[in-house]
Amino acid sequence: MERDQASKFMFDLLRLMVGKGGSDLFITAGFPPAIKIDGRMTPVSSQPLTAAHTADLARSIMNDKQTAGFELTREANFAISPGDLGRFRVSAFVQMSSVGMVLRTITTQIPKFEDLGLPEVLKDVIMAKRGLVIMVGATGSGKSTTLAAMVGYRNENSYGHIITIEDPVEFVHPHKNCVITQREVGVDTDSFEAALKNSLRQAPDV
């Protein structure tokens, strides 16, 4: 499959997922493209994908650096924003010697404390001048969403420089009262370690 053809096919699948209100798109060899809608897996074609198809589809949404990294480690995690469809988190991997992918819809609106029902004490935590906050939880429990709400609150209620180092960047924060610097590992920096070390020279407040 040519790159342009594969890219268009991925774009069409994502558009279909958005239109149906799906949460995840699954690309795997031996099975048709499938969308998870309300927790239920729904194939969107009767034609299974081949291993060549899945490899072409994955590479069609990767840049050169991501492609090289994927060929080396057989893992890739990044985010894409194709056209006006929104933002999607991509996890590419190899299973049974074939490339597979899961693409998850990322909510683009920065969540509010009130919308999530978060405890008020977290506002004090994110406004602290110093300290370490560790956010833990099971997959899908809302860690990224909670952190996005905390960063959004600080952005609206303080002045300074907020730096995030993410893999991948999920919520894109606009500049409000703060300057927001968001760096994605594998795209904007080679590693968490390098970005963290250099962030100390960038006058960070958070």
The string of pLDDT tens digits covering residues 23-56 is 999 999 999 999 999 999 999 999 999 999 999 9
Residue where a domain stops, chosen among 50, 76, 106: 106
Contact 152, 116 (CB under 8 A): no
Q: Are residues 12 and 100 in the same domain?
A: yes
Backbone angles phi, psi at 34, to 5 degrees: -135, 145
Q: Order of strands, edge to edge, in the sheet holding 98-106?
A: 40-43, 34-37, 24-27, 98-106, 87-95, 75-80
Q: Are residues 65 and 47 in the same domain?
A: yes
Collect all residues with Cβ–Cβ distance below 8 Å to 61 and sequence separation of at least 6: 7, 10, 80, 82, 90
Q: Are residues 19 and 101 in the same domain?
A: yes
Collect all residues with Cβ–Cβ distance below 8 Å to 36 and sequence separation of at least 6: 22, 23, 24, 25, 26, 42
Contact 199, 116 (CB under 8 A): no
Given the DSSP bridges, would you call strands 24-27 and 178-184 parallel, antiparallel or unpaired? Answer: unpaired
Model pLDDT for residues 73-103, shown as the tens digit of each residue: 999 999 999 988 999 999 999 999 999 999 9
Q: Are residues 7 and 93 in the same domain?
A: yes
Model pLDDT for residues 89-147, shown as the tens digit of each residue: 999 999 999 999 999 998 878 999 999 999 999 999 999 989 999 999 998 788 999 99
Mean pLDDT, rounded, for 142-171? 94
Note the pLDDT of residue 200: 94
| Residue 206 placed within a domain | no
Query: What value, to the nearest 5°, has the Cα angle with vertex 74 and ends 68 and 78?
Result: 70
pTM: 0.78
| Residue 205 placed within a domain | no
Q: Are residues 123 and 186 in the same domain?
A: yes
Tokens of 120: 């008020």
Note the pLDDT of residue 152: 96
Task: Give the containing element (helix H, strand E) for 164.
Answer: strand 160-166
Q: Could you list the residue range(s) of the whole structural domain that residue 26 is in?
A: 3-106
Please give the tally of structural domains in the chain: 2
Q: Are residues 100 and 181 in the same domain?
A: no
DSSP-derived secondary structure letter, 103: E
Return d(Cα 51, Cα 56) in angstroms, integer: 9
Nearest to 61 by CA among 31, 19, 89, 33: 89
> Which of the four pLDDT bands, split at 50, 70 and 90, describes residue 154?
very high
| Residue 133 placed within a domain | yes
DSSP-derived secondary structure letter, 40: E
Note the pLDDT of residue 141: 87
Query: What value, to the nearest 5°, has the Cα angle with vertex 189 and ends 187 and 193?
Result: 140
